[in-house]
Amino acid sequence: DIVMTQSPDSLSVSLGEGATINCKSSQSVLYGSNNKKYLAWYQQKPGQPPKLLIYWASTRESGVPDRFSGSGSGTDFTLTISSLQAEDVAVYYCHQYYSTPWTFGQGTKVEIK
């Protein structure tokens, strides 16, 4: 199974400042035949289901503000919020869909400082 490890577990950021969340996979999620990284990021607010932010490691889902961006290689990935807004307070998860069992990171809680 591919283990997804996020860091940090929680993050406290001032409004307007940047936030960076890391995600490391225990094996590569880069599929050689199409050169795509099978990695997504989700945002989950209390009492709500997760919301897709980023897929293919760096493609923003339609309607997601451009302050959210994703990057990374085959095993190390980053979600960046360029300028934190109050509505960005949430838990963020990375997710690999490269192979079953699909797995998620443990989550990173983002709060306002």
Partner 1 sequence: QVQLVESGGGVVQPGRSLRLSCAASGCTFSDCAIHWVRQAPGKGLDWVAVMSYDGDHTFYADSVKGRFTISRDTSKNILYLQMNSLRPEDTAVYYCARAVKGETVGRQFDYWGQGTLVTVSS
Residue ranges that bind partner 1, judged by CB under 8 A? 1, 38, 40, 42, 44, 49-52, 55, 61, 91, 93, 95, 97, 100-107
Q: Residue 27's closest CA among 80, 94, 93, 98?
A: 98
CA 105 to chain centre: 9
Asked if 75 and 24 touch (Cβ cutoff 8 Å), the reply is: yes
Nearer of residues 11 and 97 to partner 1, judged by Cβ: 97
Nearer of residues 16 and 32 to partner 1, judged by Cβ: 32
The structure tokens listed for 35 are 């050169």
Nearer of residues 77 and 93 to partner 1, judged by Cβ: 93
Residue 112 CB, shortest distance to partner 1, in Å, is 20
Residue 87 CB, shortest distance to partner 1, in Å, is 19
Q: How many CB atoms lie within 10 A of CB 8?
A: 12
